[in-house]
Amino acid sequence: MLKWPNKKPKKLLITGANGMLGQNLVKEFSTDHEITGIDIGPSVFHDEAVNLIQLNLLETEALRETIITHEPEAIIHGAAYTNVDGAEKDADAAFRVNAYVPGDLARIANELDIPLIHISTDYVFSGDNGPYRESDACDPQGIYARSKYEGEETVRNIAKRSAIIRPNVLYGHGYDLKSSFVDWLIFELKEGNAVNIVTDQFSNPTYARRLAVMIRIIIANEAWDTWHFGAKEVVSRFDFAQQVADVFGLRTELIHAISTSDLNQAAPRPMKCGLICDKIEEKLGVKILSIQEELELLKEELHAS
């Protein structure tokens, strides 16, 4: 793992610090960074690892003053409107958070000459013919997808020093979180409850702890570009659930196959998606692990907590 030079701690600002990725970023960087976190809710942290400021990112002047006051040497923008179906009913909220806030951050970052790391999503692709490379044409479907695409395009066009990172099906460990797919699945299977999982949505899920390490490497190398990151193999959500059950010693027979059409969801999903991660492996030496290897790391992390 690449490290910052062993001088005084670097200063880092993380938006969405209470979220799953935010907490994993704090864990990754807190040993050698002074971290300022921003979140709309009160702090979930129980130690001195992060100075969390409760702030609505739509308050642009307050956001700008916070960044000026704390003088970060990099900004990681992890906050987002993530209710995919809710966005269909409230497009204004989705675009304000996912498109306009990244634009504000890009302008502030440029003004203060601070690099900006922006977290996007695989939803910028249609999901018709994945997996996708960074250079493939985007074709977002639905309000959430379009808002995220507009956000990354705004950052790309405004920020002089920016990295745009696209994960997919993010999972991992944290405190007081809304359940991720893996959290929910493990809980239900431990309770002996049957679950219905779709067989026609494909991805290569992203382990949050490893994504945080990857972000460290990008910042350390000043690798201002667009990057994909996920596991080595692209699988259906059903097959992923089966692997989760196997690694955690849970009952696979409780996992029942359904199709996406059975769910009657408001927003379209990218069906045949997944992200090709060769670029970051070849250019930055980030090893891409298998789904099983990353689930084993999650299992170790949960046992250590």
Q: Given phi > 0 = left and psi -120 to 50 = alpha, else beta, which region is 144?
A: alpha
CATH 3.40.50.720 fits 11-236+262-304, yes or no: yes
Q: Exposure of 3 by Cβ count < 10 A (0-12 exposed, 13-18 middle, 19+ buried)?
A: exposed
pTM: 0.94
C-alpha span between 210 and 47 (Å, rounded): 22
Q: How far is Cα of residue 196 from the mean position of the Cα atoms in its chain? A: 24
* β partners of residue 34: 11
C-alpha span between 232 and 205 (Å, rounded): 9
In the three-class reduction of DSSP (H, G, I as helix; E, B as strand; rest coil), residue 207 is classed as: strand
C-alpha span between 246 and 228 (Å, rounded): 27
Q: Residue 272 — φ and ψ, nearest 5°? A: -95, 80
* pLDDT, one tens digit for every residue, the chain (305 residues): 444 444 556 899 999 999 999 999 999 999 899 999 999 999 999 877 899 999 999 999 999 999 999 999 999 999 999 999 999 999 999 999 999 999 999 999 999 999 999 999 999 999 999 999 999 999 999 999 999 999 999 999 999 999 999 999 999 999 888 778 899 999 999 999 999 999 999 999 999 999 999 999 999 999 999 999 999 999 999 999 999 999 999 999 999 999 999 999 999 999 999 999 999 999 999 999 999 999 999 999 988 66
Q: Where are the domains of the chain?
A: 11-236+262-304
Q: What is the SS3 string spanning 233-291?
A: CCEEHHHHHHHHHHHCCCCHHHEEEECHHHHCCCCCCCCECCECCHHHHHHHCCCCCCH
Residue type, 218: I
